[in-house]
Amino acid sequence: MNSVQQTLSIIKPDAVERNLVEKIKNIFKKNKLIIKESKKIHITKDEAAEFYKVHQSKPFYNDLCAYLSSGPIVVMILEGVNAVFENRKLMGATNPKDADENTIRKLYGISIDKNSVHGSDSGENAKKEIEFFFKN
């Protein structure tokens, strides 16, 4: 089914720091994902821990939360046909080394932890993640 949906995207500290925000936003726009909302914020480690709660049992959880709260990030609501899937496709694989050519992580990712962007992985999680950053 091709339906219009929303997803949450985050430009992570490594990409904000390297002034890649406009370049990444242009990739979304060129690929028919409309940026409905966008804000630059700096979250606390506790907020990062809450956001990434699904990963709390993973060995990388503590570093991940420290990293996401280490500097400014840009959080966005993207909207378009199959936005969750389309955004994941534009992002590329979690590890930039494994990402396809011309994906955001292949172009800009530094390493598996500093991989420049986050994107919701399902419609249900997209709703929760949008709520987390934009509805309070």
| CA–CA distance, 99 with 65 (Å, rounded to integer) | 23
- Residue 118 annotated as catalytic: yes
The size of the interface with ligand UDP (CB under 6 A), counted in residues, is 9
Q: Which residues contact 53 (CB under 8 A, 6 or more apart)?
A: none
Give the shortest CB-131-to-ligand UDP separation in angstroms: 18
Residue from 60, 62, 81, 124 touching ligand UDP (CB under 6 A): that is 60
Structure tokens of 76? 């966005």
Report the interhelical angle of 123-134 vs 83-91 (nearest 10°).
Answer: 90
Judged by CB under 5 A, the chain residues 97 through 126 that form the site for Mg ion are 121
Whose tokens are 């959880």? That residue is: 61
Q: Which residues bind ligand UDP (CB under 6 A)?
A: 55, 60, 64, 94, 112-113, 115, 118, 121
Q: Which residues bind Mg ion (CB under 5 A)?
A: 121
What residues act catalytically? 118
